[in-house]
Structure 1
Amino acid sequence: MNQPVRRGPIATFFVGLWDVMNFTRKLILNLLFFGLLFLFLIIFVVAVGSGGGVKPLTERTTLVIAPEGRLVEQYTADPATRALAKALGDKSGDEVQLRDLLRALEAARTDKKIERVLLRVDKLEPSGYASLRDVAAALAKFRQSGKQIVAFGENMSQGQYLLAAQANEVYIDPMGALILEGLGRYRQYYRQGLQEKLGVDVHVFKVGEYKSAVEPFVLDAASKEAKEADLYWMSDVWQRFLDDIAKARKVTAAQLAAGIDTMPEGIAAAGGDLAKFALQQKLVDGLKTQEQVEDLLAERGVADEDADSGFREVDLNGYLLQLDSRRPALGQRPQVAVVVAEGEITDGDQPAGRVGGESTSALLREARDDDDVKAVVLRVDSPGGGVFASEQIRREVAALKAAGKPVVVSMGDLAASGGYWISMNADRIYADPSTITGSIGIFGMIPTVPRTLEKIGVRTDGVGTTRFAGAFDITRPLDPAVGRVIQSIIDKGYSDFTGKVADARKRSVEEIDAVARGRVWSGAQAKERGLVDELGGLEAALTDAAKRAKLGEPDKYRVRYIEKEASPFSQFMSGLAGSHIGAAMLKDSDLARSLLARSLPEMEAHLRFVDEAVHDRNGAPVKALAYCFCGY
């Protein structure tokens, strides 16, 4: 039988002291925990109780559409992060969803309470011309309903102006600026800096003379093929831009082009006044300050002394809340599901705003397993990425079709390289004429730095059990035999890519190769070459998908976005920060700022894609990429 351990008086004292301290620690932590929990519950109950519902609109309201931040297909931060940022007044990561703009304009078109739209787009950051043309079309449709659009800006880029031009009247501040300059694509080239200055040798493996993503690392200037391809698709997009502006402003594209060609003389004639020059070019209808525009709207609409603007208004977010409050019960209607694939395509489970081989596949699989989902629209806005992750997603598209559910792809601003890979097996591919697509090609790139290390007196040496042991160590020179292995892998990847496209598009491999080889096309050019089926936006794709599933008229089915669900904590924090009391409490809260700081990586620009790919190969010595550094 074990005898109890006898402690001396000193040991007994310290053990007793520890027990007291431990009890006190637990007591304080429990009090803090339950105190914070009680505080949050009080705030939550008060916030919910003080919400009072959405205040109904009154007659003759002006809808103020003044989006701030990047125009995106899908938010890149979770609801809690966005709500916290808003409560703290942090606008650095502001985003506006394309679907929200389109939804608001479509509803306002027939809303008897909405009299007109005030459009301010000088804080919108366009991502490309395809999404802008979607919004422009919605604005034009609103205007055709007989309701007025007044646009105002202090300084507008040409992308922002594409939207403003759709207004009945366009005003710019007398001290503002608006210049149309054209499309350009200029990049920095690092060969001399990397190879001659730093001693970094960059080894490139690719298929396709037009696959120019790697050129900045191995050349001092753009290749002839890169310039030829870029100018070809950019000229098509630019001419369409001029035609869209000309149609909206009732001038000719030739007049707009002449104004750009003679810009130095025109601005000099206007005394260097950019606002006056825009007026002379008939880009705007008048020069007014913000206050003058607000006075004009108060005069035409209903004056409201309680509103900062002086007229009866509702902003975009307020109007979206109105629309949400009016939604009828959904019931068990059949669904057309929308899955968004926006951003770089990488392996694994990725957050919103990026495309993960596993996470995006899981969303498509959810659509396949849901009996209420009868058809799927895959909305693609991606420059591509890893080949394996792209193939994972393509397989899920094929599985949806095999399950009897139609899949229609709607290409946004960009659906190139891996973005095309995940699209090619759809029943139908839609693209805007200004979408950037194609870039069917594969590349690999390995930098080696032995010469760089030698500059500081460092060398690499050792032994291996085979000639290829350590062959992919970038501190050693690349063995030519290893280079042949990598090129074989890249060749095989290109063969897989073109073969799968040929099979999906019912064409020969030779026909696909002729329009592939890494070359980028506009949406209109891609349709001419059989890579795209129809020209149109998201709405056209949704209608097509519903028709293929035989769902009938739009009121017989509903559209549902399948996205990652926010965690319960995220939902709670979003509701807290979104309430008036919660926002006021969090505004000066160090806790809120620390929470926001921890979430900022999700809101910032994505890490350099190639750097990430180099460091994440999932154990494979070589990782093939289907990526397009395209844009303007």
Structure 2
Amino acid sequence: MNQPPPARGPVATFFVGAWNVVNFARKLFLNVLFFGFLLFLIMFMILLAGISSSSAVKPVIDRTTLVVAPEGRLVEQYSTDPATRALAKLLNDKDAEEIQLRDLVRAIDAAGEDKKIERMMLRVDKLQPTGYASLREVAAALERFRASGKQIVAFGENLGQHQYLLAAQANEVYLDPMGGLLLEGLGRYRQYFRQALQEKLGVDVHVFRVGEFKSAVEPYVLDAASPESKEADLFWMNDVWQRYLGDVAKARKLTPQQLAAGIDTLPEGIAAAGGDLAKFALQQKLVDGLKTREDVENLLIERGVADEDSDTGFRQVTLEGYLAHLDTQRAATLDKRPQIAVVVAEGEITDGEQPAGRIGGESTSALLREARDDEDVKAVVLRVDSPGGGVFASEQIRREVAALKAAGKPVVVSMGDLAASGGYWISMNADRIYADPSTITGSIGIFGMIPTVPRTLEKIGVHTDGVGTTRFAGAFDITRPLDPAVGQVIQSIINKGYADFTGKVADARKKPVEAVDEVARGRVWSGAQAKERGLVDELGGMQAATDYAAQLAKLGGADKYRVRYIEQNASPFAQFMGRMAGSRIGALWLKDSDIARAMLAQRLPEANTQLRFVEEALQDRQGGAPVKALAYCFCGF
């Protein structure tokens, strides 16, 4: 049995109390000193970041070569905050790198008018494009650069056909003698899981849809693509491919027939070239010569200005450095002109608040409301690059588009690579819809899908049983067989969703519902095909959409207004870390400090994880409705 501690006397109590007071004061003093030092350190780093960032922007001098060598995915909008991007770059995380389409086009167009930029060196080996519509916007910018009288020299080591569309726009295209370049055509192949799910695992997938061309659910219920799916896919893919051949042929002064013949006779041609892909590309006139990187750099030294301090040996500015130069110039100007606001809707459409790179029913609606409430905003361009998603979230955004129009602010949609299904839902009420001829759009249709797993559980000896107060209590439990009556309920909901979709399209596009149904039923179209069928108003890119928005708002010429992107703001901490990581001092500290890396890994927001959309959509979130209609298109390359 434990004995209680002996009671302290009055003298001992006094000294113990005095010590506690002193100890508390000591800890308080040290904590104040520590946090004061921490605050000083943070302010010092902010000052250094600001000074270093300002000094890092070097002025562009005469006869400079702009080196355009974008790395990472070509996106409409960054999917991570500035700090995460800066850290990923410092840690050489290639998978996380992104380049915004708007920045790439802006730099090329500015360089075409910049008297200090003499020529361009183009390297696109490490660019990861997402579709042909955005690539054609970049290609158009390169064509404008050439039209200004300036030369583009492209060099590649290994080029895919997406990247080659840009390289082909150069005056001269060089390929490494040990490199490769192949044009192969467009293909779209998916895995089909019916046998694995139903026969191997015992999962029964119940599909509810309207439209024989709504093929998003086919991999779960078939072993191969349906005839309707193949017919629709081949129709729009052939249109996109013929346009690709035409674009490349025009740039390289060839004919589409020559390019197609080179692909059809690929085995014989490569064999005749001794298996040498670079030599084969030269024989096909896809490139102008075979040179190493050093050869090309020496060529640019001869044509430009030698610079011993440059890594390339010639006077140059990188794409990143040139963008920083342009941003510095823009920041120095106080612009009070009326605005055209651009809201980017990129990614899957899901409920609630979503980060950049995804579309949230609430978060994207909030951006559109911000544009509506801002008196300086006179018109809005909604840039859509989305395969769709949830019907409810799509409807929330569509309502905000309608509210903008009701407030007297014109809305013009510019479709990017993909604006299908829910992506079309949020677009249809615009005053005018622009699409690139190679945009993928349409897919006006609705589907729902419920997997049930009682046979799966039986394989391991697990059975489900119980009671309910009505015949439908627990009817949506996936561990139980699906009641045919429940299936009837779900199909009715899907039918209603399709009727809503086509009805809203008919109202927005001023067409009979029957006419909309003929081009709907889940079928996918290219932008050019969609225009022929009245789903798109005009063919053109972002600039054409912006010009028309200015025209609707009666703003006058391009010098009478400015374009402003309305986006979610990064947190103050993320902004600070982004500035610090972007500075030379901060970059060195972060790159060499294991402690800094560990701290940032804990504090910075995590990059978005690409989850399977259907898996996420099928989850019953916090007791929400067990049936959710989806307007989604698994289309693309």
Q: TM-score under structure 2 normalisation?
A: 0.95
8 Å Cα contact 1:68/1:124 also seen in 2 = yes
- Aligned equivalents of 2:375, 2:268: Cα separation in 1: 65
The structure-2 alpha-carbon separation of the partners of 1:630 and 1:280, relative to structure 1 and needing over 3 Å to count, comes to same
Which residue pairs with 1:9 in the alignment?
A: 8
- Aligned equivalents of 1:195, 1:373: Cα separation in 2: 54
Most deviating of 35-44 and 10-19 = 10-19
Which residue pairs with 2:46 in the alignment?
A: 44
Deviation at 1:37, TM superposition (A): 2.2
Most deviating of 73-82 and 42-51 = 42-51
Query: Could you list the per-position Cα deviations for residues 573-620 of structure 1 after superposition, in whole angstroms to 9, with x for gaps in the alignment?
Result: 111111111111111333443355457875355211111111254611
CA-based RMSD: 1.9
- Aligned equivalents of 2:564, 2:228: Cα separation in 1: 43
Which residue pairs with 1:381 in the alignment?
A: 385
Aligned residue runs from structure 1 range 94-493, under 5 A: 94-327=97-330, 329-493=333-497
2:36 aligned residue (11, 34, 37): 34
Matched residue type, 2:132: Y
Matched residue type, 2:545: A
Q: Secondary structure at the residue paired with 1:80?
A: helix
8 Å Cα contact 1:93/1:604 also seen in 2 = no
Matched residue type, 1:419: G
Which residue pairs with 1:3 in the alignment?
A: none
The structure-2 alpha-carbon separation of the partners of 1:550 and 1:269, relative to structure 1 and needing over 3 Å to count, comes to same
Deviation at 1:28, TM superposition (A): 5.1
Among all aligned residue pairs of Structure 1 and Structure 2, give the percentage whose two residues are the same amino acid: 77
Deviation at 1:570, TM superposition (A): 1.3
Deviation at 1:53, TM superposition (A): 6.5
- Aligned equivalents of 2:451, 2:27: Cα separation in 1: 54
Query: Could you list the per-position Cα deviations for residues 489-520 of structure 1 after superposition, in whole angstroms to 9, with x for gaps in the alignment?
Result: 10000000000000000001100000000000
Query: Could you list the per-position Cα deviations for residues 136-172 of structure 1 after superposition, in whole angstroms to 9, with x for gaps in the alignment?
Result: 0000111111100000010000000000000000001
- Aligned equivalents of 1:188, 1:309: Cα separation in 2: 45
Q: Secondary structure at the residue paired with 1:81?
A: helix
The alignment status of 1:620 with 2:622, answered yes or no, reads no
The structure-2 alpha-carbon separation of the partners of 1:18 and 1:280, relative to structure 1 and needing over 3 Å to count, comes to farther
Query: Could you list the per-position Cα deviations for residues 193-238 of structure 1 after superposition, in whole angstroms to 9, with x for gaps in the alignment?
Result: 0000000110101000000000000000000000000000000000
Gaps of 5+ in 2: 1-5
Most deviating of 88-97 and 156-165 = 88-97
Matched residue type, 2:451: P
Which residue pairs with 2:3 in the alignment?
A: none
Deviation at 1:45, TM superposition (A): 1.9
- Aligned equivalents of 2:119, 2:620: Cα separation in 1: 52
8 Å Cα contact 1:617/1:623 also seen in 2 = no
The structure-2 alpha-carbon separation of the partners of 1:133 and 1:167, relative to structure 1 and needing over 3 Å to count, comes to same
Most deviating of 541-550 and 7-16 = 7-16
Q: Secondary structure at the residue paired with 2:94?
A: coil
Most deviating of 221-230 and 585-594 = 585-594
- Aligned equivalents of 1:134, 1:316: Cα separation in 2: 17
Q: Secondary structure at the residue paired with 2:96?
A: coil
Alignment: residue pair count = 626
The structure-2 alpha-carbon separation of the partners of 1:172 and 1:364, relative to structure 1 and needing over 3 Å to count, comes to same
8 Å Cα contact 2:339/2:561 also seen in 1 = yes
Most deviating of 45-54 and 378-387 = 45-54
8 Å Cα contact 1:178/1:278 also seen in 2 = yes
Q: TM-score under structure 1 normalisation?
A: 0.96
Gaps of 5+ in 1: 1-6
Matched residue type, 1:36: L
Deviation at 1:330, TM superposition (A): 3.4
Deviation at 1:38, TM superposition (A): 1.8
